Structure 1
Amino acid sequence: MRRRQLFLGLTIAFSALVSSVCCHNVTSGETRTEVNGSAFKFGSFRKQFHRLYEIGSEESDRRHRYFQDATKRHAYLNSFSAAPQSARYGINQFSDLSQEEFRDLYLQAQTSRAPCFSGPKTVGLPAKFDWRQKAVVAPVQNQQACGSCWAFSVVGAMQSVHAIEGSKLEQLSVQQVLDCSYKNKGCSGGSPLWALDWLKQTGVKLVPQSEYPYKAKTGICHFFSQSHGGVAVTNFTAHDFSGQEEAMMGQLVERGPLTAIVDAVSWQDYLGGIIQHHCSSQWSNHAILVVGYDTTGDIPYWIVQNSWGTTWGNEGYVYIKIGGNVCGIADSVAAVFL
């Protein structure tokens, strides 16, 4: 409850700040131009993202207000992005959702505390590393209106490690984890670490996605016999790498893509570039898959696969600055063993 009050308080303060930044000294003529321009953009948005609500309806009016709020937010967020590689914020498939709706639909990962990493650092790390270039990362998926990011991140790590070990890259069933991981809440949220612990303790084998397809809603668990083929987790590690992101880079290279939990509130408006601001740590709410890094440019960054489809971000990916635990990306990081 306290966290919800804090979130709402920050949202109200943020909205007030955006209004003061964007609307100071605006004349009535400028206001009409802005409203008309917004209406035009909203019409283009509805067409691009196939929104079916009827113009003039109560829902349409409400969505238009959220859309206008989003455009003001974009101006504020982009005011921090001076460098060429900085993150860009603008209109995407989430622009007609309120911030609270977005959070309730997509930011449902539960935070699980992990011990601080105390192992040795890997020496001789390459300046750039990307598991996608080794053809062991499956295509970007779309969780749709279901809080299943926690399941997508776990399954993404499992299918990559399976391929790294020599098997054919194959999409495994996210729906199986969603339906059967009794420690979690299906589309209402969950923790990657709880899911991994469930997989380890039960020895459940994940079957291919083709055998147990994704439905974007929680269903009844479909059990398979132990003789049925599939991929099982034998163990996993979970650590807090805050202040030790170089060690996290070593884990990525040695273990494969990593599951992580981040603060993704500002990702509602993300279009591309490297996120360096607008994220907190210790307030994680969304699970993702870290597949690589690049330290060759002016701004070193993590390469992160998301589960919101390829129309979001950098074709479904987001880049996050390495160092400073941006978005809390190093707070709770897991590596999978099969």
Structure 2
Amino acid sequence: MKKIKSFLFIFLCLGLAANISMAGSQTEEAARLELKEIQERIDRYDLDWEAGLTSRLLDYTREERSYGFNPPDNYDEIVKQRKVIYPSTWFRDLPEQFNWVDSNKITPVRNQGGCGSCWIFAATAALEGTHWVYRHEALDISEQAVLSCFSAGWGCGGGWPEAVYEWYRDETAFLETCMPYQANDQIPCATEECPTVSQINTWFYIANNVDDIKAAVLQAPIAVCFDVYSDFNGYFGGCYSHYDDGSSPEAGHCVLITGWDDNICPGGAWRAKNSWGPFWGDDGYFWIKYENNCNFGREAMLLSVSFVEIATQSPLPEANLCDEYSLELSATGGNPPYTWSYAGGIYPDGLSLDPEGILHGQPTKSKQYWFNLKAEDASMPPAMDFLWAGLYVADAVCYSCGDCNTDDLINILDIVFLINFIYKDGPAPNPLELGRIDGDELINILDVVYLINYIYKDGPAPVG
């Protein structure tokens, strides 16, 4: 079957060679020589994947191959400032196998051609998948519109998915029929007459580990980026991984994770959709091991196309060690009622969060806390929003008004203490609020009477 598929690759890919924008000048002889080198490497390191005469080997020389993940110069600083979420805290158990393809929520495989536009294709595929999951509508969104109209982008020279998300949030998404893909960033922008079909509300940064990415993918397909080595171009099947022999990657590349399988190969693997056409890999898809030596999982972000928005602002109102804390969280949009939960970070000691959105309790430790709160609406699947919440719990000297001698009891001794202070130059209550029994600013006989009534005649409690 693999041989038949190889011949099919050769026939179809050579038939496309006349399309200059989509194919390069690789010769079949050179492609076969490169395939031989890849196969020798697989055999040498006993890797769990197969190589074949793929469209990438047949269509492009090493120099002509474009990928596209090209983040800005201050990328490392940007990553440090991100507030990631930990979706694995949402689930008690993650399934061993899951794939959005099985639910028919993934659009067909596309081909970026000789343009380094994977960053657009991966981000657009994530929007298409998320829109299909939450809006129940299949869309074929135009990558060319971003390539031609997004002035802040890098075009065929590469870019990064978050720049595309910003475009889809601040501008809009158009259909492929509006601006068909031509693998050319010099095509003029022509979207004036095109209707809006989707828009991103926001996105959430996902911690780059297996469980958190799995939990995010359970919500919707997500785009990720990784380091690409030359042998990946010849991937034909199995579970790809790169043996770390000290060689450098050719470039960065972005794809769409559609699912995973813990048992497909030793150690488990991600299932991902590439943007190199259906005649590369496993019908345009590939498996890549969780342990892959390719930094797979970078730039993992969960998109939101449903407009639930947490209205509560961060930082939250300050708390202290003496007073009970209670705050009602609020959200807007979507389909109320909302269900609230904790979604990672350092949660305040002594506080709890009700599903209805009441954050309450008695703080027990003074410090600055930062944690994620999640609001989900009643849709199926739910739309959601997150709040990176700051809460400062201040240290405080706790006292009970009426406990004038600060022995943690309110009794006759406090009456005596108060009389001594007022009439016999005795020590003052510390703080003075302890002796302002009736709530006014004076400490006098009225406070003594108020305290006697409270202790002996079931009068109202001190209010100072």
Please give the TM-score of this superposition, normalised by the length of structure 2.
Answer: 0.54
Q: Is the 8 A contact 1:320 1:326 kept in 2?
A: no
Query: CA 1:123/1:45 → structure 2, altered by over 3 Å: closer, same or farther?
Result: closer
Note the C-alpha offset of 1:68.
5.2
Aligned to 1:184: 153
Name structure 1 gaps, 5 residues minimum. Answer: 1-42, 54-58
Q: 1:292 to 1:66 in 2, by over 3 A?
A: same
CA contact (8 A) 1:264 1:285 kept: yes
Secondary structure of 1:162's aligned partner: helix
Q: Could you tell me whether the CA contact under 8 Å between 1:261 and 1:284 is conserved in 2?
A: no
Q: Which residue of 2 aligns with 1:249?
A: 214
- 1:283-302 equivalences in 2 (<5 Å): 285-299=252-266, 300-302=268-270
2:287 is aligned with 1:319:
yes
Counterpart contact for 1:163–1:169, Cα < 8 Å? yes
Query: 2:138 aligns to what?
Result: 169
Which of the two has greater helix per residue? 1
Q: Which amino acid aligns with 2:215?
A: G
Contact (CA 8 Å) 1:77, 1:89: kept in 2 or not? no
SS of aligned partner of 1:222: coil
Retained in 2: the 8 A contact 1:81–1:87?
Answer: no
Post-superposition shift, 1:154?
0.9
TM-score, structure 1 as length reference: 0.73
- Counterpart of 1:107 in structure 2 is 67
DSSP-derived class of the 1:288 partner: strand
Aligned residue in 2 for 1:32: none
User: Which residue does the alignment assign to 1:88?
Assistant: 50
Contact 1:136 1:164 in 2 (8 A): yes
Pairwise mapping of residues 52-91 of structure 1 onto structure 2 (< 5 A)?
A: 63=27, 66-67=30-31, 69-80=33-44, 82=46, 86-91=48-53
Aligned pairs for 1:27-38 (under 5 A) are: none
Q: Which has the higher strand share?
A: 2
Query: Mapping of 1:137-286 within 5 angstroms?
Result: 137-200=106-169, 202=170, 204-218=171-185, 219-224=187-192, 228-241=195-208, 244-254=209-219, 256-265=220-229, 266-278=231-243, 285-286=252-253
What number of residue pairs does the alignment pair up?
Answer: 279
2:61 to 94, 98, 118: 98
Shift of 1:98: 3.4
Higher relative contact order (CA 8 A, sep 6+): 1
Distance change >3 Å, CA 64–CA 120, structure 1 → 2? closer
SS at match of 2:57: coil
Output the amino acid matched with 1:138. Answer: T
* 1:267 partner SS: helix
- Please, what is the CA RMSD of the aligned residues? 3.1
User: d(CA) in 2 for partners of 1:136 and 1:88?
Assistant: 27
Greater displacement, 64-73 / 213-222: 64-73
Number of the residue aligned with 1:5 = none
What SS does structure 1 have at the residue aligned with 2:120?
helix
Q: Percent identity?
A: 23
Deviation at 1:245, TM superposition (A): 1.2
Q: Computing the radius of gyration over CA atoms, which structure comes out larger, 1 or 2?
A: 2
